[in-house]
Amino acid sequence: MPDAERLKRIADRLRRAEEIDEDLRAARRRQLHMLPELPDMKDIELAASFRPVDDVGGDFYDVIRIGGHMLGVIVADVAGHGVEAALVMGMAIKAFQIYARGVASPAMVLKAVNSELHGDLRGELFFTCAYAVYDERRKTVRVARAGHPPPVLLRPADDPPTSLVLPAGMAIGFDAGGLFDAAMEEETLEMRPGDTLILYTDGVTELPGGEGREGFDEAKLLGAVSTLGGLPAAKVVESLDDLLENHLGGATPFDDRTIIAMGMPER
């Protein structure tokens, strides 16, 4: 092959690679744009952290005003990374925004979203999520999860101060509805001053350890959160992020990492 033609092919490949990189950067900007601004609430503080490992991640979170006195908080994790995961993420966000309006039960919303998306996912793609609905009047949070890591309730007045919230449920996309609906549960928590509910993705509890440390896990998360009693939601998220980065110690994370905290300040 003449040198001129070889150089032209190399230049074409480089040009295509640059175009793909720009497409991924644009997709990342669009994904970040889809993340919501956290609303100011009278009795509840919200804070979030989102750290994808690739240009385009599979984690997402959203906050939905369900009605005049209820707020829905979603944290989800699409299997895989990259453009395909981002497309599923976009479909899921829209489905939640449609089906969550006016519905107080998170389990009912998860059932509706699974029924809507199963045909598109075809059992080949799936995502997990935890969905919490806060009721400003009753000061309660109803929690359901679809194959997702259990939220952590930090209640400093209790001994121990941390516990897992464990309603049953399977991931969205595997089943058309029968098994999914039968497995779905929800749990209601009374939110007291000083309480914080923490939702997260498995990028937290499957974080590798740097400098000879073992990987981070659920037990380590409970221990870390137990030291954060009395802190505002933003400080809880910031402290967890700092702790996780220290634990990582320069190692490369395997997965996207998302944390969102819902805290009731002490008065």
10 located within any domain: no
Count CB neighbours of 234 within 10 A: 16
Q: Is residue 242 part of a domain?
A: yes
Q: Is 23 inside any structural domain?
A: no
Which letter does DSSP use for residue 259 in this model? E
Contact 254/210 with Cβ under 8 angstroms? no
Q: In total, how many domains does the chain have?
A: 1
Question: For residue range 21-35, what is the model confidence (pLDDT) as tens digits?
Answer: 454 455 555 555 567
In a domain, 58, yes or no: yes
Residue predicted with more confidence, 264 or 251: 264
Question: What residues make up the domain containing 39?
Answer: 35-263
Mean pLDDT of 6-35: 52
Residue 263 has a CB neighbour count (10 Å cut-off) of 27
CA 108 to chain centre: 19
Alpha-carbon gap, residue 75 to 130, rounded angstroms: 5
17 — pLDDT class (breaks 50, 70, 90): very low
Q: What is the pLDDT of residues 181-198, one digit of tens each?
A: 999 999 999 999 999 999
Residue 5 lies in a domain: no
Residue 27, in any domain of the structure: no
Q: Closest Cα partner for 243 from 222, 212, 265?
A: 222
Q: Which amino acid is at 171?
A: A
User: Does some domain include residue 28?
Assistant: no
Whole-structure pTM value: 0.88
- Beta-carbon contacts of residue 33 (< 8 Å; ≥ 6 apart): none
Q: Residue 187 pairs with which residues in a beta bridge? A: 143
Q: What strands, in cross-sheet order, belong to the sheet with 45-51? A: 45-51, 257-263, 196-200, 152-154, 162-164
Q: What's residue 124's pLDDT?
A: 81
177: left (phi over 0), alpha (psi -120 to 50) or beta: left
pLDDT at 91 over 60: yes
Q: Are 239 and 170 in contact (CB under 8 A)?
A: no
CATH code, domain with 164:
3.60.40.10
197 in a structural domain: yes
Q: Indicate if the pLDDT at residue 4 is higher than 60.
A: no
